[in-house]
A and B are shown apart, each in its own frame.
Chain A
Amino acid sequence: MRSRLRKGASRSRRSPPIARAPFVGKKVVRKEGLAKVTGQAKYIDDLAFPGMLHGATIRSTIARGEIRSLRPAFDPAGFTLVDFRDIPGQNVVALIEEDQPCLAEREIRHAAEPIALIAHPDREKLLAARFDIEYQESEPILDPTASPRIFKALSIEKGDVARGFADADVVVEGEYRTGHQEQLYIECNGVIAVPEDGGITVYGSLQCPYYVHRALKVLLGLPDEKVRVVQTETGGGFGGKEEYPSMIAGHAALLALKARRPVKIVYDRAEDMWATTKRHPSIVRHRTGVTRDGRLTAIEVDVLFDGGAYVTLSPVVLSRGAIHATGPYRCVNVQVRGRTVMTNSPPNGAFRGFGAPQVQFAAEAHMDRIAEKLGIPPVRFREINVLRPGDTTATGQKLGRDCSAAEVLREAVRRTDFVRRRRRLAGTDRGLGLSLFFHGSGFTGGGELKLASKATLELTELGARILVASTEIGQGTRTMHAQIVADALGVPYDCIDVADADTGRVPDTGPTVASRTCMIVGKILEDCAKEMKSKLGGQTHAGYLARHGPLRITKQYEKPAELVWSDETYRGDAYGAYAWGCDVAEVELDRDTGDVRPIRLTAVIDVGKAIHPTFVAGQIEGGTAQGIGFALLEQVRLKNGAMANAQMTNYAAPTTLDTPPIDAVILERPYKHGPQGAKGVGEIPIDGPAPAIVNAIRHLGVDIREIPATPEKILEADRRPIEKKAARA
């Protein structure tokens, strides 16, 4: 009895279920929340089909060379075997360029490259199956600076850098490096391919159903309607399930079509880490002209990304990287040169941030070095140069009123009492540093126009059903879209359903990437809902359906008229809008061990409008934690071009003990073309932590220019006095 009373009391303390508009800005209940907390949500490995086989991938153990011969070292009876000769269409993983084979034919370009596939009903038998492969090995190219092949080069020019340097009192140079980073979603890549009616249906853990759809059509030589891709509940993506699922889906489909049975391939952790994409390692060089009073006169940046063995998404990662390379600063003379090159390491690909975390680490570490050289406090130096409304970016984009870089800086400084605390910590084992950063929402340049994304809204008796290919991968897609539609249509949130991301049912909404699912797709849905509301003209939903039959509204992305971009010159409006952020990190250094412990992270982020404040805070907190890993812990060790630490045991992602308290602060400076003013939030939180932490380490007198800042690097840097390093620059 007593416990029941207490339960009742506590329930009344909690907010009651929300039933009234507006739903945007409220903490409504996550659509699939209950299924996730009760273990009922079905992820790919939780599914089975009658007669299903398990599939496995035979991969190269060398980084570069040619296959001389390939022989199963087991009795193949009862196994399904597939190699490139079984591919009915083109042997490519279709994406930007069709250079990557689904199965190697002769040439091997990286370790863990897929060569052959096997399937068997018994997983134990599958694991025991071995192949004898003879190779003609060649010396792999693993150093991107020695690469003979450029996947993409670009340059951004603004003003006249020569004149800018002539106007400068001081020129500061520096080189900054970042390593690979593994997405480390807790659910590994996995799919099930089911042969159906002369075609194929693939279920899987993935971000972009239509990327997989297109890749399968090309690989299998099938028409649109014979390929169906269905996303199952997905245990994290972070970009790691953007392009790679096209590969594993192709493999499972080839096995399934040959065996004429469903085939499941789910990687174990080692294979997932060994074989799939990672964040591009970078080498970024800065040369900056500045007046004695702290005004930037010239910014010259050279960006080099290690693309790995195949093109995958490297050209677009480079675009985003180059555009963000100056940081959120005003300068009339800018030159950015970018290259992404081939090496014989596994292809690098999408990872939250998509090139921006690497370049903004460099920019922000560099800004603190310039400020130090000039003897100007880091906050003051940023205040002088920060982009403000009306200023233009490196590509010449004139910023609107939602440019809040100065505001996020002010708020972060105020909230952490930065200036006083930094002074107070001087001489202790603690350091305080900050970073200022931005992140373009949506595809770069003309990307959104080319995607021409579609979304559909279907009238139901009580509300509406959303049909989009946008996937829920943890960020709250279904919930957030339903909130936007509920408000625009004027019905309760609970009356909005969301269809599964199934290419057999939903239109091509474009990929779930690039901080676009709210700002771009949410806007299309908002427009659908507004049109539906006007069509209803005050009739009840049931009444309309009885009188006129089904109502479906499909709309396509419409580019705001004022956005202009040139892919040839890299001039114009690179993004519809930018999110702006400022991080403050406090760290503690153990000078004996080189261990840096983050004490507290404050992240102030302007997202335009927080559709669901808890989810937005969750993106900031989670992205910040990943950024802490990028800064201090996560190190991919390559040995002969293969990941040598492909295990969670020795690839250290932040645990509870490595993650300090994170103070996530949301600012809302609305973007006029976003749904209720929303901009993107998915990626920006990972741009800031690494430079804020490295600048906090710098505050302790340790000059770090390469991350992760492992204890070894800290100890080595600590042996050299910081002034000497600065003088050398």
Chain B
Amino acid sequence: MKIHLNGERIEVTAPPMKRLLDVLREDCGLTGTKEGCGEGECGACTVLLDGEPVNSCLVPFAQVRRARVVTIEGLTGARRLQEAFVTEGGAQCGICTPGMILAAAALPKSATLEEIRVGLAGNLCRCTGYEGIYRAIRKVRSPKSNVRSRTGRTSKAKK
């Protein structure tokens, strides 16, 4: 089957019901997509399907026939976000990081902290308590939204 992967059309032969996660890792040699739970809970296997983050452990290969698939190896235009994950402590052990970065890259540019939290609710991180991840995402957004989405002391909690 021909698929559109990381900006290229390539031919991949795999059973139609094989998990996209396994096709990427085993048949395409793209091991940046990680398995954390195998049941769509942790988001470590997140890839972008037509720009939308999905859990690739829940997607059968046959389903990506007409879709554009982007993995961490093929993510473009997010260099600053990736650098910010390094400098702001958004990546510690790094196992959730590829999925987290793809989910973060799919968030709208104007997302508030609350929208970021909801948008990343399907991506589990056991290391950071998410603060470093928010710092990284906020760092590459406009200064105005930086102020609005400051965590640690939200104005909302002061009611």
In this assembly, does B128 line the interface, its C-beta being within 8 Å of a C-beta of chain A?
Answer: yes
Decide if B157 touches A599 in the complex (CB within 8 Å): yes
In this assembly, does A528 line the interface, its C-beta being within 8 Å of a C-beta of chain B?
Answer: no
Decide if A46 touches B132 in the complex (CB within 8 Å): no
Residues of B contacting A663 with CB < 8 Å?
A: 152-153
Decide if B39 touches A600 in the complex (CB within 8 Å): no
In Å, the complex CA distance between A29 and B86 comes to: 7
Chain A residue, CB-CB nearest to B71: A39
Residues of A contacting B41 with CB < 8 Å?
A: 647-649
Most buried by B among A43, A586, A615, A661: A661
Decide if B39 touches A647 in the complex (CB within 8 Å): yes
Residues of B contacting A661 with CB < 8 Å?
A: 131, 151-154, 157
Minimum CB–CB distance for B104 against chain A, Å: 11
Minimum CB–CB distance for B105 against chain A, Å: 11
Do A269 and B39 contact each other (CB < 8 Å), given the known contacts A235-B34, A655-B121, A655-B124? yes
In this assembly, does B48 line the interface, its C-beta being within 8 Å of a C-beta of chain A?
Answer: no
Residues of B contacting A33 with CB < 8 Å?
A: 85-87, 91
Minimum CB–CB distance for B114 against chain A, Å: 10
Most buried by B among A473, A622, A656, A657: A656
Most buried by B among A184, A235, A586: A235
- List which A599-624 residues lie within 8 A (CB) of chain B: 599-600, 614-615, 617-618, 621-624
In this assembly, does A143 line the interface, its C-beta being within 8 Å of a C-beta of chain B?
Answer: no
In this assembly, does A233 line the interface, its C-beta being within 8 Å of a C-beta of chain B?
Answer: yes
| Interface 0/1 of B83-125, CB less than 8 Å to A | 1011111011111111001000000000000001110111111
In Å, the complex CA distance between A586 and B153 comes to: 12
In Å, the complex CA distance between A42 and B120 comes to: 24
In this assembly, does B56 line the interface, its C-beta being within 8 Å of a C-beta of chain A?
Answer: no
Decide if B86 touches A34 in the complex (CB within 8 Å): yes
In this assembly, does B63 line the interface, its C-beta being within 8 Å of a C-beta of chain A?
Answer: no
In Å, the complex CA distance between A472 and B80 comes to: 24
In Å, the complex CA distance between A37 and B154 comes to: 28
In this assembly, does A32 line the interface, its C-beta being within 8 Å of a C-beta of chain B?
Answer: yes
Residues of A contacting B121 with CB < 8 Å?
A: 655-657
| Interface 0/1 of B19-53, CB less than 8 Å to A | 00000010000111111111101101000000000
Decide if B93 touches A185 in the complex (CB within 8 Å): yes
Residues of B contacting A624 with CB < 8 Å?
A: 129
Do A37 and B88 contact each other (CB < 8 Å), given the known contacts A626-B126, A662-B131? no
In this assembly, does A431 line the interface, its C-beta being within 8 Å of a C-beta of chain B?
Answer: no
Chain A residue, CB-CB nearest to B136: A37
In Å, the complex CA distance between A30 and B136 comes to: 14
Minimum CB–CB distance for A583 against chain B, Å: 13
In this assembly, does A664 line the interface, its C-beta being within 8 Å of a C-beta of chain B?
Answer: yes
Decide if B31 touches A234 in the complex (CB within 8 Å): no
Decide if A474 touches B157 in the complex (CB within 8 Å): no
- List which A6-34 residues lie within 8 A (CB) of chain B: 7, 10, 14, 27, 29-30, 32-34
Residues of B contacting A710 with CB < 8 Å?
A: none
In Å, the complex CA distance between A475 and B128 comes to: 10
In this assembly, does A301 line the interface, its C-beta being within 8 Å of a C-beta of chain B?
Answer: no
Within the complex, which residue of B97, B118, B128 is in contact with A36, where a contact is CB–CB below 8 Å? B97
In Å, the complex CA distance between A484 and B12 comes to: 48
In this assembly, does A328 line the interface, its C-beta being within 8 Å of a C-beta of chain B?
Answer: no
Decide if B124 touches A268 in the complex (CB within 8 Å): no
Do A269 and B36 contact each other (CB < 8 Å), given the known contacts A475-B92, A614-B88, A663-B152? yes
Decide if B117 touches A657 in the complex (CB within 8 Å): yes
Within the complex, which residue of B82, B98, B116, B127 is in contact with A622, where a contact is CB–CB below 8 Å? B127
Residues of B contacting A475 with CB < 8 Å?
A: 92
- List which A66-114 residues lie within 8 A (CB) of chain B: none
Decide if A235 touches B93 in the complex (CB within 8 Å): yes
In this assembly, does B54 line the interface, its C-beta being within 8 Å of a C-beta of chain A?
Answer: no
Chain B residue, CB-CB nearest to A273: B37
Decide if A659 touches B130 in the complex (CB within 8 Å): yes
Decide if A586 touches B101 in the complex (CB within 8 Å): no
Decide if A186 touches B72 in the complex (CB within 8 Å): no
Residues of B contacting A184 with CB < 8 Å?
A: 126
Residues of B contacting A692 with CB < 8 Å?
A: none
Decide if A10 touches B130 in the complex (CB within 8 Å): no
- List which A278-330 residues lie within 8 A (CB) of chain B: none
Decide if B80 touches A625 in the complex (CB within 8 Å): no
In Å, the complex CA distance between A290 and B130 comes to: 41
In this assembly, does B11 line the interface, its C-beta being within 8 Å of a C-beta of chain A?
Answer: no
Minimum CB–CB distance for A676 against chain B, Å: 20
Do A27 and B87 contact each other (CB < 8 Å), given the known contacts A618-B92, A657-B118? yes
In this assembly, does A252 line the interface, its C-beta being within 8 Å of a C-beta of chain B?
Answer: no
Decide if A622 touches B126 in the complex (CB within 8 Å): yes
Minimum CB–CB distance for B24 against chain A, Å: 11
In this assembly, does A211 line the interface, its C-beta being within 8 Å of a C-beta of chain B?
Answer: no
Decide if B124 touches A648 in the complex (CB within 8 Å): yes
Residues of A contacting B80 with CB < 8 Å?
A: 7, 10
Within the complex, which residue of B73, B94, B129, B132 is in contact with A235, where a contact is CB–CB below 8 Å? B94
In this assembly, does A564 line the interface, its C-beta being within 8 Å of a C-beta of chain B?
Answer: no
Chain A residue, CB-CB nearest to B92: A474
In Å, the complex CA distance between A35 and B31 comes to: 12
Minimum CB–CB distance for B42 against chain A, Å: 6
In Å, the complex CA distance between A441 and B37 comes to: 33
In Å, the complex CA distance between A498 and B117 comes to: 35
Within the complex, which residue of B82, B83, B86, B127 is in contact with A236, where a contact is CB–CB below 8 Å? B127
Chain B residue, CB-CB nearest to A657: B121
Decide if A236 touches B126 in the complex (CB within 8 Å): yes
Residues of A contacting B44 with CB < 8 Å?
A: 186
Decide if A649 touches B39 in the complex (CB within 8 Å): yes
In this assembly, does A476 line the interface, its C-beta being within 8 Å of a C-beta of chain B?
Answer: yes
In this assembly, does A534 line the interface, its C-beta being within 8 Å of a C-beta of chain B?
Answer: no
Minimum CB–CB distance for A138 against chain B, Å: 34
| Interface 0/1 of A532-568, CB less than 8 Å to B | 0000000000000000000000000000000000000
Decide if A653 touches B33 in the complex (CB within 8 Å): no
Decide if A615 touches B31 in the complex (CB within 8 Å): no
Do A622 and B129 contact each other (CB < 8 Å), given the known contacts A269-B38, A657-B121? yes
Decide if B127 touches A618 in the complex (CB within 8 Å): yes
In Å, the complex CA distance between A657 and B88 comes to: 20
In this assembly, does A238 line the interface, its C-beta being within 8 Å of a C-beta of chain B?
Answer: yes
In this assembly, does A45 line the interface, its C-beta being within 8 Å of a C-beta of chain B?
Answer: yes
Chain B residue, CB-CB nearest to A621: B129
Most buried by B among A33, A36, A475: A36
In Å, the complex CA distance between A46 and B41 comes to: 21
Chain A residue, CB-CB nearest to B81: A37
Minimum CB–CB distance for A673 against chain B, Å: 27
In Å, the complex CA distance between A188 and B34 comes to: 11
Most buried by A among B37, B38, B120: B37
In this assembly, does A38 line the interface, its C-beta being within 8 Å of a C-beta of chain B?
Answer: yes
Decide if B82 touches A615 in the complex (CB within 8 Å): no
Within the complex, which residue of A236, A586, A625 is in contact with B93, where a contact is CB–CB below 8 Å? A236
Do A187 and B129 contact each other (CB < 8 Å), given the known contacts A269-B37, A648-B42? no
In this assembly, does A593 line the interface, its C-beta being within 8 Å of a C-beta of chain B?
Answer: no
Do A618 and B89 contact each other (CB < 8 Å), given the known contacts A36-B97, A657-B118? yes
In Å, the complex CA distance between A625 and B35 comes to: 22
In Å, the complex CA distance between A654 and B131 comes to: 13
Offer 9 A-B interface pairs, CB within 8 angstroms, sorted by A.
Answer: A30-B86, A39-B31, A39-B33, A39-B72, A40-B32, A186-B34, A186-B95, A269-B37, A618-B129
Additional 19 contacts, C-beta under 8 A, given A14-B87, A33-B87, A269-B39: A36-B86, A37-B97, A37-B101, A43-B34, A185-B93, A236-B92, A236-B93, A236-B127, A474-B127, A599-B157, A621-B129, A623-B129, A625-B128, A648-B39, A649-B41, A657-B121, A661-B153, A662-B131, A664-B131
- Which 8 residue pairs across A and B have the least CB separation, nearest first? A39-B32, A235-B95, A474-B93, A36-B94, A625-B129, A33-B86, A39-B72, A621-B129
